[in-house]
Amino acid sequence: MDDIYKVYLHSPPHYFIPNAMYMVTGSILHKQNLLNENTRKEFFLQTLFERAKDFNWNLQAWAVLHNHYHFIGESPENAGTLPKLIQQVHSITAIQINKWDKASGRQVWHNYWDTCLTYEKSYLARLHYVHMNPIKHGLAEDAINYPYCSYRWFVEKGDDILKEQVFAQPINKINVFDDF
């Protein structure tokens, strides 16, 4: 195996490649809707943004739903920081959610899944998928009106050529764990 690949022993194994794109999905234990309030989604996003910045991950897309989230990010040179990034996001948000619910010590997060996106079309399709995720889960009729995903940001700030490429990609055949 090349030296640029770092492996985190996990089942399935996680491969960390510097400066690569990753899609991450995390879920709440037993599909509970613990992120159903806006303040909870806002807190989750704030924590994700802060920790991503701390670990030099460049977020490309995100969506926070009632019981799971997705994000796409470009890894830093030390891509092996992803487990620590996720651990901190999960720990900080679990503690706060449990405070709100007066449920000290309860397990909030179930797991997370990451995929290194090595093909451009796969990356583009997953960007499209993450932007449309609130619609898929019935939380918005138009993703531009859903404040807990990156769609509006992408439409307003994204490169026109990239937007055209992303929205041209079909999303009905991509394989993403999203049974929530």
Give the pLDDT confidence of 130-148 residue by residue, as tens digits: 999 999 999 999 999 999 9
Give the pLDDT confidence of 69-85 residue by residue, as tens digits: 999 999 999 999 999 99
Which residue spans within the chain are E strands per DSSP?
6-8, 14-16, 21-28, 58-64, 68-74, 109-117
Domain boundaries, the chain: 16-168
Residue 1 has pLDDT above 50, yes or no: no
Q: What is the pLDDT of residue 177?
A: 75
Distance, CA of 71 to CA of 79 (rounded, Å):
15
Distances (CA, A) of 89 to 53, 77, 135, 160, 169: 12, 20, 25, 32, 30
Asked if 131 contacts 63 with a C-beta cutoff of 8 angstroms, the reply is yes
Distance, CA of 79 to CA of 81 (rounded, Å):
5
What is the pTM (predicted TM-score) of this model?
Answer: 0.91
Domain 16-168 class in CATH? alpha beta
Q: What is the pLDDT of residue 5?
A: 46
Q: What is the pLDDT of residue 175?
A: 82
